[in-house]
Amino acid sequence: MSGLTRRTAAELADALAAGETTSVEITRAHLDRIAEVDGPAGSGAEGVHAFLHVDAEGALAQAAAADERRAAGTPASALDGVPIAVKDVLATQGLPTTCGSKILEGWIPPYDATVVARLRQAGLPILGKTNMDEFAMGSSTEHSAYGPTRNPWDLDRIPGGSGGGSAAAVAAFEAPLAIGTDTGGSIRQPGAVTGTVGVKPTYGGVSRYGLVALANSLDQAGPVTRTVLDSALLHEVIGGHDPLDSTSIDQPLPSLVDAARRGASGDLSGVRVGVVTELGGEGYQPGVLARFRESVDLMVKAGAEVVEVSCPSFVHALAAYYLILPAEASSNLAKFDAMRYGLRVLPEGVENPSAEEVMRATRDAGFGDEVKRRIILGTYALSSGYYDAYYGQAQKVRTLISRDFAAAFEQADVLVSPTAPTTAFRLGEKLDDPMAMYLNDLATIPANLAGVPGISVPSGLADEDGLPAGVQILAPALADDRLYRVGAALEAALLEQWGGPLLDKAPALEGAAR
Amino acid sequence: MSADVLVPFDEVLEKFDPALGLEVHVELNTASKMFCGCPTEFGAEPNTQVCPTCLGLPGAMPVVNRTAVESAIRIGLALNCEIAEWCRFARKNYFYPDMPKNFQTSQYDEPIAFNGFMDVEVDGETFRVEIERAHMEEDTGKSLHVGGATGRIHGADYSLVDYNRAGIPLIEIVTRPIVGAGERAPAIAKAYVAQLRDLIVALGVSDARMDQGSIRADVNLSLSPKGSGTLGTRTETKNVNSLRSVERAVRYEMSRHAAVLDEGRSILQETRHWHEDTGITTSGREKSDAEDYRYFPEPDLVPVAPSREWVDELRGTLPENPTQKRARLQAAWGFSDLEMRDTVGAGALGLVEDTIAAGAAPQAARKWWLSDMARRANEAGVELTALAVTPLDVARVQALVDEGKLNDKLARQVFDGLLAGEGTPDEIVAARGLAIVSDDGALGTAVDNAIAANPDVAAKIRDGKVAAAGALIGAVMKEMRGQADAGRVRELILEKLA
């Protein structure tokens, strides 16, 4: 039943509901696909290497339980029995959680993140944990301490980051669904470069409890899927208020699945789409821009009104982001000190080392260069005498960006831009140039700074390299439903144009891991 | 470590003006911790009252304890503070193994309460101590350094950490510099902490046990040349865990600072540790203004914005103003100014009040606490409140005295029993067989024996030298093992020798 892995989550849910297949069959099919294309965990040498840890036994047990619920006529949710992959930055009770870092090697959390608890409650078998840039710092998944994930479209290319593992797992049909986290684009940019759908919900819309924080004021977990509808289905499972997260919004979610279904009818009349002047043009690959313009044209054909909007503060977003993020991260990462869990390294040649010496040796050995770079940046930005000039100033930019969004959303119901400036680059190409790497998130960062939701939908293949590009749709805070309506309408128009899913054009990868 | 050179206290004041600052940490008695649901009981098995949040496990997040905010507001109001309409928590970043996240969630430039004062009474005079701020924060874990001589980290073989205390809510109350106190500086420091403790007890927001660390005082002190009106370099003395030590630590640091300054050297701005046993301070880690905690607003928490309605509602729950309360109690009890001052000074006001409430006469309650109990607490080196004798016990013992079942000497033996943990006063009276023998038959025999054994004394009494009866009373009391009413014995002797 290899066909099971090609189906969307919504199709699998329908098949389960109709009794045409079982969760065990579906889960086993995906585990087989993982074995076939992912390559040995940790090698990174061959295969996609989307997973850091596969929990076949656990996933099959959860699948069997889901089948029992279905048989008893009491499914836990619409997605009960549809398997999922989870980014390794979310705490999973009993399953290793490394955040792609050596410093957490072997740590098994004693608790579940709220998102994970909700997945379990809804009956989604967890296939395993997906690869990521160490502590979500990066745009290529090359900063994983366990080797890079490869792009299913071209195994010599990056799958985006930091959530390259989740995007690649879904793009390579290793999982129908995955959870990612997005601090500056880590769901949306991998979505764009792998031809998948990724959603960063409104800040506070999905609980962060159990999400190992990169930058607390920016992080959001969200769906990684192959269709807009699947994202909506998953978003409804994981979203909503959580008393364990003080920044979680105590309001019911808008109906996202309904919005996606409504959008799929293809009618966008009455919708004002704003094209953001500052997010396009210089620095963007021509093929990416061409696919973006086509997408806008399709929206117009669907009845949308297009307006040009300017968000002048967006040019400062990257600078502000690279002060706020390292500042928060430098403090968050202080807890990794070898005292309570994770790696412990004793300094060489030191007899009876002090706690401080053990902390230093462990952090030196356990953190990668990018993590150290950002700890240094953040520590500096928060230092007395520099705080106002850096962290304080960055927060002011943040306010300006929010104001730009507010003004833009008076002119338009949603804003659109290319998700990432380029298609997937080659492994190693930008590894020694942090600034070039940071520029990947140019278009995605403003949404995190302002807390507004965004989705990346595949827009087609760039002419010059035949690799996927994405279009980003942004909506006002709490209006996540607009992402789904507009995203589904665009998706429907593009599917018609392509004559089938974009991922059908990707290499089959059969035997890739051998 | 060489002993510090000290200048006698009186000489310090000839040349210098002291400036005091007190930072008092109050551990709240909320049922759960500041940012998680873990219990807060004192003395549980190490690391049994912990969860992902207070252990700082990756991914765990804090949620503010509403009761802790309520207690903070009530403390602020009781200290005549303004209550912030909007304030935030901040991260104080530094590495230490007993701090799970390597930052403490505290408040920085936006405390919940600020700009208050407390009127402190010293020797019948009132001195206003200005409160700069009261803010909320979480406690750290507790390190236990094993091996080595001192229990300090240096020289220890290894260290253990108990995280039960990590995350317990604290309120830190910071005074503005207290100047103009002169020779009364040590007394004012002590009185401030004592009165603050009484206030905390009255508010019911903390166990307020200095010996268990639920109130901890840090004493900042500096000296400036007399009359200069400037502030000198300060030291911060930590670990000052009794009222008596607050006073002693201020005295000690004044004398030490003066000696350093007299030699033309300058005071090092540093943290010092108070040693209760030896009564000295020693240098801790150097602390300079350059120490950088990289404070920034805690992004995992939303601002605390107490509504004015809530604040007003809490204002209505405040206990009586301590000064007014003292005046009311003094009048009700009929204490002289001196008696009242001594009672307050000994930190016995609440104990005496509770003892009277339990039925004892005011003078009796005062007598037991200020004489016997004060002596015993002093001998044990603990606070009165830390003694294993409660106001209810004292009231019961006094009731037994009033009923003629005990005399003062026997009552003291009951207190011995209470301190030894032998049970309730009645159980101790029964177990130790302490009740007064009022049976005239048994007493009469003892009196006859005493007369027979002391014919000379008996002859003197028969000759009218009644004062000599004391010797016979002593003999009878000895035979009765003290369990007799001395007045009745005297009556019997005089009857028999009439």
Test the A interface: residue of B57, B63, B92, B295 with most A CBs within 10 Å = B57
Sequence spans of domains, chain A: 2-314+399-505, 315-398
- Do residue A335 and residue B58 have CB atoms under 8 angstroms apart? yes
B300 contacts in chain A (CB < 8 Å): 208, 213, 216, 246-247
Do A276 and A416 meet the contact criterion of CB atoms below 8 Å apart?
yes
- Do residue B93 and residue A382 have CB atoms under 8 angstroms apart? yes
Whole-number Å distance between alpha carbons of B90 and B320: 33
Do B198 and B354 meet the contact criterion of CB atoms below 8 Å apart?
no
Q: Of B168, B125, B147, give the one whose Cα is nearest residue B39.
A: B168
- Do residue B292 and residue A387 have CB atoms under 8 angstroms apart? no
pLDDT, residue B472, reads 86
Whole-number Å distance between alpha carbons of B39 and B49: 6
By the CB < 8 Å criterion, does A398 face chain B? Answer: no
Fold annotation for B440-496: Arc Repressor Mutant, subunit A (1.10.10)
By the CB < 8 Å criterion, does A403 face chain B? Answer: no
Whole-number Å distance between alpha carbons of B364 and B398: 7
Among chain B residues, the shortest Cα distance to A388 is held by: B296
Q: The domain A2-314+399-505 is classified under which CATH number: 3.40.50.150, 2.60.120.380, 3.90.1300.10, 1.10.10.60? A: 3.90.1300.10
Instruction: Give the 3-state secondary structure of B189-235.
Output: HHHHHHHHHHHHHHHCCCCCCHHHCCEEEEEEEEEEECCCCCCCCCE
By the CB < 8 Å criterion, does B63 face chain A? Answer: yes
Do A451 and A477 meet the contact criterion of CB atoms below 8 Å apart?
yes
By the CB < 8 Å criterion, does B97 face chain A? Answer: yes
Q: Which listed residue (A186, A231, A248, A295) is catalytic?
A: A186
B299 contacts in chain A (CB < 8 Å): 215-217, 247, 328
Instruction: Give the 3-state secondary structure of A367-379.
Output: CCHHHHHHHHHHH
Mean pLDDT (whole number) for B401-417: 88
For chain A, positions 244-283, list CB contacts with chain B under 8 A: 244-247
State ipTM: 0.95
Test the A interface: residue of B47, B54, B61, B288 with most A CBs within 10 Å = B61
Quick one: how far is CA B216 from the chain centroid? 10
Whole-number Å distance between alpha carbons of B481 and B446: 11
Sequence spans of domains, chain B: 9-314, 320-432, 440-496
By the CB < 8 Å criterion, does B144 face chain A? Answer: no
A111 contacts in chain B (CB < 8 Å): 52, 57, 60
B422-475 pLDDT, tens digit per residue, is 999 999 988 888 877 766 777 888 888 888 888 888 888 888 888 888 888 888
Among chain A residues, the shortest Cα distance to B153 is held by: A354
Whole-number Å distance between alpha carbons of A130 and A366: 20
- Do residue A111 and residue B101 have CB atoms under 8 angstroms apart? no
Whole-number Å distance between alpha carbons of B192 and B194: 5
Residue A319, C-beta contacts closer than 8 angstroms, at least 6 positions apart: A394, A397
Residues of chain A with pLDDT under 70: 1-2, 40-45, 511-514
CB count, 10 Å around CB of A69? 16
Q: Which listed residue (A23, A77, A101, A162) is catalytic?
A: A162
pLDDT, residue A45, reads 54
- Do residue A335 and residue B100 have CB atoms under 8 angstroms apart? yes
How many CB pairs below 8 Å do chains A and B form together?
A: 99
Do B457 and B449 meet the contact criterion of CB atoms below 8 Å apart?
no
Where is A470: in which H helix or E strand?
Answer: strand A468-474
- Return the C-alpha torsion angle B93, B96, B98, B100, nearest 10: 40
Where is B447: in which H helix or E strand?
Answer: helix B440-453
Whole-number Å distance between alpha carbons of B390 and B491: 36
pLDDT, residue A44, reads 46
Quick one: how far is CA A2 from the chain centroid? 26
Nearest 5°: CA angle at B259, between B254 and B261? 95
For chain B, positions 321-350, list CB contacts with chain A under 8 A: none
CA distance B74 to chain A (A): 23
- Do residue B296 and residue A382 have CB atoms under 8 angstroms apart? yes
Do A36 and A512 meet the contact criterion of CB atoms below 8 Å apart?
yes
Among chain B residues, the shortest Cα distance to A111 is held by: B52
The sign of the dihedral angle between the CA atoms of A218, A222, A226, A227 is negative
pLDDT, residue B152, reads 66
pLDDT at B498 over 80: no
- Do residue A387 and residue B95 have CB atoms under 8 angstroms apart? no
CA distance B75 to chain A (A): 25
Mean pLDDT (whole number) for B95-114: 95
B295 contacts in chain A (CB < 8 Å): 382
By the CB < 8 Å criterion, does A99 face chain B? Answer: yes
**Per-residue confidence at B1, pLDDT binned at 50, 70, 90?**
very low
Do A419 and A187 meet the contact criterion of CB atoms below 8 Å apart?
no
CB count, 10 Å around CB of A244? 20
**What is the DSSP pairing of strand B235-240 with strand B90-93?**
unpaired
Do A164 and A138 meet the contact criterion of CB atoms below 8 Å apart?
no
DSSP 8-state class, residue B403: T
- Do residue A97 and residue B296 have CB atoms under 8 angstroms apart? no
CA distance A107 to chain B (A): 10
* CA distances for A150 relative to A157, A158, A167, angstroms: 6, 5, 10
pTM of the full predicted structure?
A: 0.87
A186 catalytic residue (yes or no): yes
pLDDT, residue B31, reads 96
By the CB < 8 Å criterion, does B125 face chain A? Answer: no
Classify residue B307 as exposed, middle or buried by CB count within 10 Å of its CB (0-12, 13-18, 19+). Answer: exposed
Q: Which of B57, B59, B62 sits opposite A211 (nearest CB)?
A: B59
pLDDT, residue B465, reads 84
Q: Of B351, B354, B360, B350, give the one whose Cα is nearest residue B398.
A: B360
pLDDT, residue A433, reads 86
Residue A351, C-beta contacts closer than 8 angstroms, at least 6 positions apart: none
- Do residue A209 and residue B60 have CB atoms under 8 angstroms apart? yes
* CA distances for B58 relative to A268, A482, B210, B383, angstroms: 43, 33, 34, 42
Lowest mean pLDDT among A326-330, B69-73, B90-94, B266-270: B266-270
Q: Which listed residue (A23, A77, A87, A430) is catalytic?
A: A87
A246 catalytic residue (yes or no): no
CB count, 10 Å around CB of B371? 10
A23 catalytic residue (yes or no): no
Residue B272, C-beta contacts closer than 8 angstroms, at least 6 positions apart: B235, B236, B237, B238, B253, B281, B282, B283, B284
**What is the DSSP pairing of strand B16-27 with strand B169-175?**
antiparallel
- Do residue A335 and residue B56 have CB atoms under 8 angstroms apart? yes
Classify residue A42 as exposed, middle or buried by CB count within 10 Å of its CB (0-12, 13-18, 19+). Answer: middle
Whole-number Å distance between alpha carbons of A262 and A94: 40
Do B75 and B135 meet the contact criterion of CB atoms below 8 Å apart?
no
Mean pLDDT (whole number) for B369-378: 90
Higher per-residue pLDDT: A302 or B341: A302
pLDDT, residue B462, reads 86
Among chain B residues, the shortest Cα distance to A330 is held by: B93
Among chain A residues, the shortest Cα distance to B97 is held by: A339
By the CB < 8 Å criterion, does B161 face chain A? Answer: yes
A338-360 pLDDT, tens digit per residue, is 999 999 999 999 988 988 999 99
pLDDT at B362 over 90: yes
Whole-number Å distance between alpha carbons of A157 and A142: 10
A213 contacts in chain B (CB < 8 Å): 59, 300
- Do residue B299 and residue A328 have CB atoms under 8 angstroms apart? yes
Helix (H, G, I), strand (E, B) or coil at A469: strand
Q: Which of A110, A208, A359 sits opposite B95 (nearest CB)?
A: A359
Structure tokens at B90: 């901040």
Structure tokens at A430: 């930008």
